[in-house]
Amino acid sequence: MCVGAMATAEGASDSPIHVLIVGGGLSGLATAISVSLAGHKATVFEQSPAPFDAGSGVVTCPNGTRLLSRWGVGGPDTRQTFAARWDVCDPRGTALGPDLMTGHCEGVKAAENCESLPPWTFYRPHLIQALLRRAEEVGITARFGARVTRFNGLADGKTSVMLEDNEMHHGDLVVVADGTGSKSRHLLTHNPVNPTATGYIAYRITVDRTRVRGPELLAFMDNLCIRTWAGNGSYVSVYPMRNAGFLSMMVLIPQDQLQQVVSINGVPSLQHYFKDWDPLLSSMIRAASNANKWTAVHLLPERRSEDGSCILVGDAANTMWPFLSQGLSLDLEDAGTLGCLLGHVRSRSQLPAATALYTRIRDARAQRMRDETDVFERQLQTTTGGCRNSEEGFEAETDFRHKFETGRMAQSWMWSYDAYAEAEAAFNSDPF
Ligand SMILES: Cc1cc2nc3c(=O)[nH]c(=O)nc-3n(C[C@H](O)[C@H](O)[C@H](O)COP(=O)(O)OP(=O)(O)OC[C@H]3O[C@@H](n4cnc5c(N)ncnc54)[C@H](O)[C@@H]3O)c2cc1C
């Protein structure tokens, strides 16, 4: 595939505004690229002294892959892995129907070549570097070691941010992309910002291929499969990354179950917890040397300051539960929607209407995704998948399959979403 072929500044505004972006993570950099391709100036302020991201894996679903591809991000040096299959299994490893990629081709619009839009898996630092490279190519200024401590709302049509060292920067629009722990949100929206616990403990594990034993696991890595196991209230998603040199695993376990089973943390507790599950999964966990553990949280959506001079994108706006692997793809959609709408902005006076439309589009999309995540979570809670051995706990396999078939149908509308097309249609029916 010719990555970057679509990276034109189509719909670009000929009256540039200056967008100040707080946070140089995946969302902030993606937003900077889409704003710049829309013909505007973008400056990114990142508090870390250098580009940084946790050394784990991340997936873009086709709705996110579509945007990276459009912006010209991805290619041999990004070392993303193209997923060839995505299987969803019960705890014993029985596939719950054909792989998700089969549905993907039906769901992606016929005009597009769905083969070129598979899920991509990345090593997060590689994706950050690729976004940064592309940002530099399109003329974005990224300032590192630049922590934003204050915002000033509109004054004389301008807005501004202040850095830790009291340096002031003026622009036309502030975009907040400072992540789940956003400190900026309450300064701007006066709404509570505390992320709430989901009741799940999350583990992120990276397995080095050199530690992998057994032909089955090596074949899994070489076949570039993503595999999700779901049941007994728990969820595991695994994929190879960095040209199949590593496996990335995401594990979610209800907090109360984990406490009942074991008291120790890390790999031994996971080995114990999953000992009755699919042997392939057990062998993956055995090959792990450590597990990064945290409490999974979610954050109620919030997208715009009261005076419209500032909007929120990415995890600062809407932190999702990870069940549908949509976190990053939704963040990229925020960036694409904003870029498309700003491409229609010819004067600063149109910004309040543009940001109001952005809010409407993204709130509706995030709500639909949130509802779907709730459905998935409820299914997970009420499903044993026939793994645990108490007879009463067994569930007929057909019921189990039926529940997850509903999820497969949802995957079609999730993956076929084109953020630019949707924003364009919304603009055409409600132009500003
Ligand atoms: C370990 C992990 C694995 C994940 N795996 C997946 C996955 O497989 N699939 C998926 O879809 N999603 C995944 N997600 C979710 C997805 O990665 C996140 O949705 C995405 O990284 C959020 O990006 P962000 O830029 O909004 O926030 P962040 O990545 O948190 O970036 C925020 C940035 O803002 C900076 N910042 C904060 N405050 C300030 C300030 N005052 N001034 C300047 N800079 C500031 C921070 O230093 C940081 O660089 C994962 C998340 C994590 C943490």
52 CA closest ligand 1 atom index: 49
d(CA 417, CA 414): 6
- The 10s digit of each residue's pLDDT in 259-286 is 554 444 578 888 888 988 999 999 999 9
* Distance from Cα 277 to the centre of ligand 1, integer Å: 31
Tell me: pLDDT of 23 over 80.
yes
If one residue of 31, 43, 47 were mutated to test the ligand 1 pocket, choosing by the most ligand atoms within 8 A of its CB, it would be 47
* Distance from Cα 321 to the centre of ligand 1, integer Å: 14
Q: 333 CB less than 6 Å from ligand 1?
A: no
* Residue nearest to ligand 1 atom 35, measured at CA: 23
* Distance from Cα 410 to the centre of ligand 1, integer Å: 25
- The 10s digit of each residue's pLDDT in 312-332 is 999 999 888 888 889 999 999
Q: 48 CB less than 6 Å from ligand 1?
A: yes
* Strand order from edge to edge, sheet including 81-82: 57-60, 120-123, 81-82
d(CA 31, CA 333): 9
Q: What is the DSSP string of 329-362?
A: HHHHHHHHHHHHHHTT--SGGGHHHHHHHHHHHH
- The 10s digit of each residue's pLDDT in 343-389 is 999 998 999 999 999 999 999 999 999 888 888 887 777 665 544 44
d(CA 202, CA 235): 10
Instruction: Give the pLDDT score at 7.
Output: 40
Six-digit token string for 189: 């929206």
Q: Determine if residue 386 is left, alpha or beta; phi over 0 gives left, psi from -120 to 50 gives alpha, anything else beta.
A: left
178 CA closest ligand 1 atom index: 34
- A 10 A CB-CB count for 13 gives 18
What is the greatest pairwise CA distance in the chain? 71
If one residue of 68, 315, 373, 414 were mutated to test the ligand 1 pocket, choosing by the most ligand atoms within 8 A of its CB, it would be 315
Q: 148 CB less than 6 Å from ligand 1?
A: yes
pTM of this structure: 0.91
Residue type present at position 165? D
Q: 315 CB less than 6 Å from ligand 1?
A: yes
Question: Which has the closest alpha carbon to 3: 142, 140, 136, 130?
Answer: 130
d(CA 320, CA 340): 23
Instruction: Give the pLDDT score at 2.
Output: 27
Instruction: Confirm if 311 and 338 have CB atoms less than 8 A apart.
Output: yes
Instruction: Confirm if 163 and 10 have CB atoms less than 8 A apart.
Output: no
* Residue nearest to ligand 1 atom 28, measured at CA: 179
Instruction: Confirm if 257 and 268 have CB atoms less than 8 A apart.
Output: no
Instruction: Identify the residue with better confidence: 390 or 115.
Output: 115
* Residue nearest to ligand 1 atom 20, measured at CA: 328
* Distance from Cα 319 to the centre of ligand 1, integer Å: 10
Say which residues have a Cβ less than 8 Å from residue 356's Cβ, sequence separation at least 6: 304, 308
> Could you give the C-alpha distances from 315 to 42, 185, 262, 333, in angstroms and in order?
20, 11, 31, 12
Instruction: Confirm if 3 and 69 have CB atoms less than 8 A apart.
Output: yes
Q: 63 CB less than 6 Å from ligand 1?
A: no
Instruction: Confirm if 207 and 345 have CB atoms less than 8 A apart.
Output: no
Instruction: Confirm if 19 and 158 have CB atoms less than 8 A apart.
Output: no
Instruction: Confirm if 165 and 57 have CB atoms less than 8 A apart.
Output: no
Q: 54 CB less than 6 Å from ligand 1?
A: yes
First to last CA, the chain: 36
